[in-house]
Amino acid sequence: MVLAVDDLTLEFDGLRALTGVSMSVAAGALAALVGPNGAGKTCLLNCVGGFYAPTSGRIAFGEVAIQGLPPHRIAAHGIGRTFQFVELFRGMSVLDNILLGRHRHMRAGILAGGLFWGRSRREETAHRRRVEEIVEFLELERCRKELVASLPFGVQKLVAIGRALATEPTLLLLDEPSTGMNREEKENLARFLLRIKHELGMTMLWVEHDMELVGDLADTVTVLDFGQRIAGGPPEAVLRDPRVIEAYLGRAGSREKGAG
């Protein structure tokens, strides 16, 4: 297993966001993490990515226990991350935003970098070549030099994925990448997720609300509700599970009654 989460609990000042959650992600899998709003999906992703330290439990990345490590240490182990809200430098170009993802691979010292000679020059050339490969992979050539702020939201989401890919992760964490996209943009995203899986062989843990996308793309699905794991397995079985249907439709029904 690339990732194993065992009996994970997360509390904030007595408020429990996750309770005894266990799940795993196999190498090369596109694993979906789903659940109603407030189910604890992003909290779990933040624990894996080092933004939250769990109250108890274990997170293993391969053979390494990573729970409680800071984000930069977890990134150095080979875990990349995108965010639900696009966290890009809007005043910078597509190329420069993706180039930032190469930071953990840069080895030249400050002096060499400032003078741009020798090792620093060779290193930056290699990094820029890698960024251009990612731009081509994500079909961003037309906007490669444009400022991120000028781009449609769906394209900004792809740039964020490109920056995460630039870190060359073993595991890619995707937090609701389709949020705010129209149907055409979602179909485009689906195509790239499949390319990342099949052409790059990358393992992904993907938080998603669009159940149609999940049913079409995911190898496995884990469902959270009120911070607890209520189902897990292949999508064709999980999405028909009565507990999962109740978590979604029951919650929706409660909202409608409340609105009335």
What is the distance between the alpha carbons of residues 174 and 21, in angstroms, rounded to a whole number? Answer: 19
Average pLDDT value for residue range 7-27: 96
The total number of structural domains that make up the chain: 1
Mean pLDDT of the chain: 89
Predicted local confidence at residue 119, as pLDDT? 62
pLDDT of 108 strictly over 80: no
Using the structure block, give the residue that is written with the tokens 């449609």. Answer: 152
Q: What is the pLDDT of residues 172-201, one digit of tens each?
A: 999 999 988 899 999 999 999 999 999 999
Q: Residue 13 class from Cβ within 10 Å (0-12 exposed, 13-18 middle, 19+ buried)?
A: exposed
- ∠ Cα 211 217 221 (to 5°): 60
CATH number at residue 101: 3.40.50.300
What is the distance between the alpha carbons of residues 206 and 85, in angstroms, rounded to a whole number? Answer: 15
Which of helix, strand or coil describes residue 64?
A: strand
Domain enclosing residue 220, as ranges: 3-259
Average pLDDT value for residue range 23-38: 96
pTM confidence score:
0.86
CA-CA-CA-CA dihedral for 205, 211, 213, 216, to nearest 10: 100
218: Cβ–Cβ under 8 A, 6 or more apart, which residues?
30, 31, 32, 206, 208, 235
Using the structure block, give the residue that is written with the tokens 């597509």. Answer: 94
Query: Which region among 85-89, 97-101, 156-160, 165-169 has the lowest average model confidence (pLDDT)?
Result: 85-89
Query: Which region among 16-20, 46-50, 209-213 has the lowest average model confidence (pLDDT)?
Result: 209-213
Strands 30-34 and 203-207: parallel
Predicted local confidence at residue 121, as pLDDT? 67
